[in-house]
């Protein structure tokens, strides 16, 4: 007759064997296909690939070396990501998930609700971004006319019930933003901003900037308007207006590169300028007003 200890031992062995079997034979291709279908419902041009997808304990999924591509170009590389369901929601129509991802030396942590009641299959996303290095994001690196360096933080929400195609809202900040111009503008090859903040909303491919404010040792100002996001990012269309006030460091550089009768740097430093930006990110058309 088997003792209670032996019975528990056999049960533990059987459970361990099942867990190992599920882990080794985990259908990662099926999971990838599901994630792909969710991305496609947001944008058919998006595609996700991962070097490895495995189940985890507590119950969840872990991805390593995942890439999100659009139209054959990598948008972002994710070092690792983990998705964990809220167990109480699994028996409900709307499933709630927690997620965390490491990318570009930073992280994205948040929650999402999956549902069949919206066209995208996602009812809500709430995410915090922290210490993401702009210069390591593939979509940013594809811009040819300039490069960006800085640390991105912020909060982003997505409401899938807002038709058509849901609505994204966010507030982002970039510390120590440096813009390096491939072609110097009036002898200026780089701009440094101590603090840059952006409040925005996005529906389909239209990104509406409620306010983008910047301040630093070279300039301070504000920009608003609409960006029609295209792929690659450098071809996105611009319809922006703004004001800027050069600081003494920038005024000194302008005085070195401009003829004295071309611009009144004293008035420029006091009143600032109003401007309009059209064209594309890689080929902007800047006009003063």
- Summarize pLDDT for 24-42 with one digit per residue, the tens: 444 456 556 667 666 666 6
- b/e per residue, 227-246, with b = 16+ CB within 10 A? beeebbbbebebebebebbb
Q: For residue 199, is it within any domain?
A: yes
Three-class HEC string of the chain: CCCHHHHHHHHHHHHHHHHHHHHHCCCHHHHHHHHHHHHHHHCCCEEEEEEEEEEECCCEEEEEEEEEEECCEEEEEEEEEEEEECHHHCCCCCEEEEEEEEECCEEEEEEEEECCCCCCCEEEEEEEEEEEEHHHCHHHHCCCCEEEEEEEEEEEEEECCCCCCCEEEEEEEEEEEEEEEEEEECCEEEEEEEEEEEEEEEECCEEEEEEEEEECCCEEEEEEEEEECCCCHHHCEEEEEEEEEECHHHHHHHHHHCCCCCCCHHHHHHHCEEEEEEEECCCEEEEEC
Q: For residue 200, is it within any domain?
A: yes
Q: For residue 226, is it within any domain?
A: yes
User: Given a cut of 60, is residue 285 above it in pLDDT?
Assistant: yes
Interval 67-117: pLDDT, tens = 988 888 898 999 999 988 887 877 788 888 899 999 999 999 999 888 777
Q: For residue 257, is it within any domain?
A: yes
**C-beta of residue 34 within 8 angstroms of C-beta of residue 122:** no
User: Given a cut of 50, is residue 13 above it in pLDDT?
Assistant: no
Q: For residue 263, is it within any domain?
A: yes
Q: For residue 147, is it within any domain?
A: yes
Domain count of the fold of the chain: 1
Q: For residue 246, is it within any domain?
A: yes
Q: For residue 43, is it within any domain?
A: no
User: Given a cut of 60, is residue 10 above it in pLDDT?
Assistant: no
Structural domain for 147, as ranges: 133-288
**pTM score:** 0.81
Interval 210-261: pLDDT, tens = 999 999 988 899 999 999 998 888 899 999 999 998 888 777 777 766 655 5
Interval 129-149: pLDDT, tens = 999 999 999 999 988 889 999
């Amino acid at each position: 007759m088997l003792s209670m200890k032996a019975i528990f031992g056999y049960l533990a062995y059987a459970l361990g064997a099942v867990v190992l079997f599920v882990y080794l034979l985990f259908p990662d291709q099926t999971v990838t296909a599901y994630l792909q279908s969710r991305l496609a419902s947001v944008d058919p041009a998006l595609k996700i690939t991962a070097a490895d997808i495995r189940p985890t304990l507590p119950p969840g999924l872990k991805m390593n070396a995942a890439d999100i591509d659009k139209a054959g170009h990598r948008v972002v590389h994710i070092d690792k990501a983990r998705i964990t369901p809220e167990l109480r929601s699994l028996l409900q129509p709307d499933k709630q998930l927690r997620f965390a991802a490491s990318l570009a030396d930073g992280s994205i942590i948040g929650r999402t609700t999956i549902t069949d009641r919206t066209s995208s299959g996602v009812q809500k996303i709430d995410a915090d971004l922290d210490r993401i290095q702009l210069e390591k994001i593939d979509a940013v690196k594809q811009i040819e006319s300039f490069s960006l360096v800085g640390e991105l933080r912020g909060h982003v929400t997505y409401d899938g019930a807002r038709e058509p195609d849901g609505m994204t809202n966010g507030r982002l900040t970039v510390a120590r933003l440096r813009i390096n111009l491939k072609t110097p503008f009036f002898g200026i090859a780089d701009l440094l901003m101590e603090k840059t903040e952006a409040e925005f909303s996005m529906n389909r491919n239209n990104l509406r900037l409620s306010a983008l404010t910047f301040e630093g040792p070279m300039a301070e100002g504000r920009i608003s308007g609409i960006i029609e996001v295209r792929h690659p990012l450098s071809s996105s269309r611009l319809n922006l207006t703004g004001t800027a006030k050069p600081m003494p460091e920038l005024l000194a550089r302008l005085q070195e590169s401009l003829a004295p009768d071309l611009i009144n740097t004293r008035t420029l430093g006091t009143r600032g300028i109003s401007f309009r930006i059209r064209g594309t990110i890689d080929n902007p058309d800047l006009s003063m007003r």
